[in-house]
Amino acid sequence: MSTDEQKVTIMLCCAAGMSTSILVKNMQAAAKDEGVNAKIFAVPAAEANEKLAQEKIDCILLGPQVRYMLGSFKEKVAAQNIPVDVINMQDYGMVKGDRVLQQGLKLIK
């Protein structure tokens, strides 16, 4: 995917939105390195509905600490065909932005 292609928007949801901020920075760096035009941000799961109403989201990645919400998130965005997945726990814990970016991009394709 090159920079002249359409921008992708990846929303990460976690418990409070703080632990994921480092992962977002690493994902943004990986996107830049790979020439991917991406908007990546994190929100607490409680604020996800608000963001979904405001923006066109291409995929949602849930932090491992809110993996129990996977079913309700899938249900919530089924009509919009937004793919949802849980971030791999090791990639999350080691803040591997490149791996999590690839996980999100695979969902979008």
Distance CA 42, CA 56 (A): 14
- Retrieve residue 84's tokens: 């949802």
Catalytic residues: 14
The answer to whether 89 and 66 are in contact (CB under 8 A) is no
- Show the DSSP H helices in the chain as ranges: 20-34, 48-54, 70-77, 89-93, 97-108
Q: CATH topology for 8-108?
A: Rossmann fold (3.40.50)
Distance CA 88, CA 97 (A): 11
| Residues 35-68: tens digit of each pLDDT | 999 999 999 999 999 999 999 999 999 999 999 9
Question: Helix, strand, coil % (nearest 5) of the chain?
Answer: 55, 20, 25
| Residues 85-109: tens digit of each pLDDT | 999 999 999 999 999 999 999 999 8
Domain ranges in the chain are 8-108
pTM: 0.92
